[in-house]
Amino acid sequence: MRIGICPGSFDPVTNGHIDIFERGSKLVDKLIIAVFENPSKKPLFTMQEREEMLVATTKHIPQVEVVSFQGLLNEYAMQRGAKFIIRGLRALSDFEYEFQRALLMKKVEPDLETVFIMTGTQYSYISSTGIRELACFGGTLDGMVPAYVEKRLKERFKDKYKA
């Protein structure tokens, strides 16, 4: 069985992420979407909330499993029998950062391959950080996040979104 892991903080999950999950799932028999805590970021949603949003927004992809984990990605990947790390790229700046991470991963776990997938151009400008900023100020989220995530963001910032 070909198992891939798509790791990220997904705070929140965007339509760009969903695009990567849908396309990445076609490359493997099982795609594990692994939510982790990024120590350099202050999350808007808890890991449990992010996991719940991912489950709700990926149920149309049959071979997806959503989990959360802590620790080293390479160790988790080996525990799960994964051979691929799937990373989404939006721009050249993403590539430079992800390329360095992939080289480090290859050094510590030579049997683990990193696969880069370019997001669809219609999502290339979307980032979770940008979405959080838009939502914080009551901005429009149309077409940038799944409907369920938009609802959760509007609940979180209900004082900014008047009915």
Residue 123 annotated as lining a ligand binding site = yes
| Catalytic choice (25, 50, 128, 152) | 128
| Catalytic choice (25, 50, 90, 132) | 90
Clarify whether 128 is annotated catalytic. yes
Residue 97 annotated as lining a ligand binding site = no
Beta bridge partners, 33, equal 6, 66
Residue 88 annotated as lining a ligand binding site = yes
Torsion of CA 129, 134, 136, 137, to 10 degrees: 150
Residue 128 annotated as lining a ligand binding site = yes
Summary count for the chain: helices (H), strands (E): 6, 5
Clarify whether 90 is annotated catalytic. yes
Clarify whether 41 is annotated catalytic. yes
Closest by Cα among 11, 5, 24 to 120:
24
Residue positions annotated with a catalytic role? 17, 41, 90, 128
Binding-site residues for ATP, in ranges, read 9-10, 17, 88-90, 98, 123-129
Binding-site residues, in ranges, read 9-10, 17, 41, 73, 87-90, 98, 123-129
